[in-house]
Amino acid sequence: LYFLYYEEHDFTIRARQKGWEMYFCAQSFIHHRQSISIGLDSPLKIYYMVRNRILFMRRFNNGPQFGLFLAYYMGLGFPKMLVKLLSKGKWKHIINMYKGLIWNLHNRKININYENINL
């Protein structure tokens, strides 16, 4: 369901729901090259960030929590990103923002049953 972004958050929540414990290893080191797969300033990145942020919140929050998220995101987060992109004339990014939003409207009944998926 996720292609880019939020898949690790989804996995973590599902693992915790199954009773797995999470640990932190301070001695480990991972070198992560930011946005190397699709680029730092990619319209595709904007699409998947908007799409998957809303999808993740829909899947793991009840009605009131999701309503609060949606009020915050649509009242502050989304407009802030829109103004930033408008000021830079990034029209493809803006179109992809709306495509990510529209994807959630068209797919609002998506509900994958994770009971059949082994972690």
Work out the percent of the chain whose per-residue pLDDT is above 70: 91
pLDDT of residue 106: 93
Q: What is the mean pLDDT of residues 74-96?
A: 97
Cα within 13 Å of Cα(24), Cβ side: 1
Q: What is the mean pLDDT of residues 98-102?
A: 96
pLDDT of residue 49: 94
Q: Is 50 exposed, middle or buried (0-12, 13-18, 19+ CB in 10 A)?
A: buried
How many residues does this entry show for the chain?
119
Continuous segment of H or E residues that includes residue 95: helix 91-106
Tokens of 17: 């729901």
Q: What is the mean pLDDT of residues 78-98?
A: 97
* pTM given for the model: 0.82
Tokens of 71: 């009020």
Q: What is the mean pLDDT of residues 60-77?
A: 93
- Residue 17's SS3 state is helix
Cβ–Cβ < 8 Å for 47, 38: no
